């Protein structure tokens, strides 16, 4: 390659990129031009490196490309736009797109929990075979209720929040394998169903639901969302539809990562309710009403904000520029 001729052919573009990189503000047209020139000069750098690696020219173009990369990424938007966009578009759109997955998961799990509770209530040996009479009495009379007031409110809030956020993220991360998600959800259903049956058998039904419902409505919804997203990730590579298997899995995994981050905020709300409302001296109806209010707010968030975001074309996946390139493969 004739290096002098190559430099002469592209010097004007390099100079123009140098000018744009040095500007503090850009018009819309200049921002588009900056991105286009960044891509072009990146290609020029690759050509020079492979065909005629002149050290001084490579160093100059490398510095120019690096500064242009920083300029294009830093001008995507103000720092606060990313979280705002996430919670007004990306996260609710993902929840809305996957609504039938997590609604179905929730209904199935709640139904199984009631069936487990009914069976355990009719067959007390479910717990008498694993618990002594003293352990049963302690659980029913003190342990179940004291669990919510054993620690200081703030400490307990942080404890349940981090634990639930970790479990939800784990369920989503293990979704690619499928079976671990079912195992975790099944354990959760069995624990809730048997605990409820044990309390009901000893005439503590009101206490059980009075302590579970205030925070449990939102908390369990978040767990069911996580489980459904994990199962959707698994299904994305089992039945990828019209996409190549790898692309289908990548799309759902990216969406799942976003959902996991969003659920951290949802579980923070449920954690605050569990730490401050559940063990409070408020009447049972008031505590349950707060739980219902939080659950209603979540449902409206999904089906109003999420539906509007989906109507604008959002899917819950990252922007195309952040998703990476794909290569067509033979079917």
pLDDT in tens, 199-208: 999 999 999 9
Contact 233, 245 (CB under 8 A): no
- Same domain membership, residue 228 and residue 198: yes
Domain termination site, one of 74, 96, 122? 74
Residue 151 DSSP one-character state = S
Do 42 and 146 fall within a single domain? no
Residues 25 and 132 in one domain: no
Q: Is the pLDDT of residue 330 over 50?
A: no
Boundary of a domain, candidates 39, 74, 109? 74
For range 66-91, the mean pLDDT: 74
- Are 276 and 310 members of one domain? yes
Buried b (16+ CB within 10 A) or exposed e, 83-100: eeebebbbbbbbbbbbbe
pLDDT-based confidence at residue 29 (cuts at 50, 70, 90):
confident
Domain co-membership, 88 together with 66: no
Residues 70 and 88 in one domain: no
Positive or negative, the Cα torsion across 122, 123, 128, 131? negative
Residues 96 and 63 reside in one and the same domain: no
Mean pLDDT computed over 178-195: 94
* Domain contains 248: yes
Indicate whether 226 belongs to any domain: yes
Are 183 and 231 part of one and the same domain? Answer: yes
- Domain hosting residue 64, numbered range: 3-74
């Amino acid at each position: 390659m004739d290096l002098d001729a190559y430099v002469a052919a592209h010097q004007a573009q390099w100079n123009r990129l140098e000018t744009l990189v040095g500007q503090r503000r850009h018009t819309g047209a200049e921002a588009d031009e900056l991105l286009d020139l960044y891509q072009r000069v990146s290609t020029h750098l690759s050509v020079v490196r492979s065909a005629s690696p002149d050290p001084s020219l490579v160093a100059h173009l490398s510095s120019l490309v690096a500064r242009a990369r920083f300029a294009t990424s830093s001008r995507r938007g103000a720092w606060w736009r990313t979280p705002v966009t996430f919670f007004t578009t990306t996260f609710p759109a993902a929840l809305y797109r996957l609504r039938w997955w997590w609604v179905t998961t929730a209904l199935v799990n709640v139904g199984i929990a009631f069936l487990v509770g009914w069976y355990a209530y009719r067959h007390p040996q479910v717990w008498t075979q694993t618990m002594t009479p003293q352990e049963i009495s302690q659980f029913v009379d003190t342990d179940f209720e004291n669990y919510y007031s054993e620690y200081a409110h703030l400490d307990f809030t942080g404890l349940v929040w981090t634990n639930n956020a970790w479990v939800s993220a784990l369920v989503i991360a293990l979704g690619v394998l499928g079976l671990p998600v079912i195992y975790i959800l099944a354990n959760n259903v069995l624990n809730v169903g048997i605990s409820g049956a044990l309390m009901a058998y000893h005439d503590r039904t009101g206490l059980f639901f009075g302590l579970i419902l205030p925070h449990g409505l939102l908390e369990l919804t978040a767990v069911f969302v996580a489980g459904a997203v994990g199962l959707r990730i698994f299904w994305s590579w089992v039945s990828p539809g019209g996409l190549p298997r790898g692309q289908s899995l990548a799309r759902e995994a990216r969406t799942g990562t976003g959902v996991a981050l969003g659920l951290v905020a949802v579980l923070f709300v449920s954690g605050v309710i569990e730490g401050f409302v559940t063990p409070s001296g408020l009447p049972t109806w008031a505590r349950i009403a707060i739980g219902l209010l939080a659950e209603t707010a979540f449902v409206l968030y999904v089906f109003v904000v999420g539906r509007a975001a989906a109507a604008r074309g959002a899917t819950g996946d990252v922007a195309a520029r952040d998703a990476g390139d794909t290569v067509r493969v033979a079917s």
